[in-house]
Amino acid sequence: MARGPMEGAGGGRGVILVTGGAGYIGSHACRALSDAGYAPVVFDDLSNGHEAFVRWGPLEIGDIRDRRALDAVFARHRPVGVMHFAGLIEVGESVLHPDRFHDVNVVGSRQVIEAARQAGVRAFVFSSTCATYGAPLAASMDESHPQAPLNPYGQGKLAVEQTLEELDRQSGFRSVRLRYFNAAGADAQGRIGERHAPETHAIPLAIMAALDPSRRFTIFGDDYPTADGTAVRDYVHVDDLAEAHLKALEWLLAGGGSEVFNLGSGSGTSMVELIAAIERVSGRPLNVGRGGRREGDASSLIADASKIGRVLGWRTTKDIDQIIRSAWAWHEAELARASRS
């Protein structure tokens, strides 16, 4: 089932199929593609995405495990490239339901890859994750860091990376695998932002607690081997992530070879520091509780993203306060919209 575009730049530079394009990061990538003159076509089953986020091109509703549906979409739109975001994302859920995560994230991704190969696509950008590294063996991790995932989510992403690497060796099918750290923030114009059900990500949960004093924000684990005992993460604005996907796509379309890149700022923010930043930006105190560590969580995940800077000229442009300001504006507007409905 297809739905027509709502707004966009015309797509004179070619069609790009964006699986999971109704989701958080995928929708921001669609905006970046449209701004750059491409025509994004979203393929999404809307199980986690939002139809309202599909603003820059047509929506094709379907499941990435459905090869016939994929083949029909490739035949209808003839994309020159693919950005593959679709999949399940919650680490805790992957521990509880590993079979489901394998079915969607690994089996489904391989269906997308094979459909793209059969259609003659020459640029494939894969949304991977720092969760493929597992426990850090260095203060910051570059792309050569050993990959030993701590959870089924990371294991599935690694399996897809390995599939793409093998296909490049066997048949020259070129891809860029982007291992990003913690996506955060929202579109500056307030059109799209982070909306998950249920919400499990730290920044939106903390912002919701700041907006509603009856909510409590829980720090999971305060005995990690970090400066303040809480987990440290490298937060990247979603606009910066979208720009990296665009640069990776254009690298491949210009004839560049397969690559893997980290996407991160190179600096970490602990949970204690994150809470302080949200209180600083919002001007509101948070009701904070503490709980035990969650299974599958690493103590510290910080990127060495110097490689993509050297090769593609990408770097982050927004610090943690700027990330939180954009997220705060989005969630505050969401609350206002909900109160009016």
Task: Residue 260: name the closest of 183, 182, 181, 175 by CA.
Answer: 175
Q: What is the C-alpha separation between 18 and 25, in angstroms, rounded?
A: 11
- Partners of residue 129 on adjacent β-strands: 180
Q: What is the C-alpha separation between 4 and 145, in angstroms, rounded?
A: 43
Annotated catalytic residues are 153
Which residues, other chains included, contact 170 with Cβ-Cβ below 8 Å and sequence gap of 6+?
none
- 3-class DSSP assignment, residue 178: strand
CA quadruple 247, 248, 251, 253: dihedral sign: negative
Task: Residue 31: name the closest of 49, 45, 44, 18 by CA.
Answer: 18
Q: What is the C-alpha separation between 191 and 78, in angstroms, rounded?
A: 28
320-340 vs 202-211: helix axis angle to the nearest 10? 60
CA quadruple 180, 91, 322, 25: dihedral sign: positive
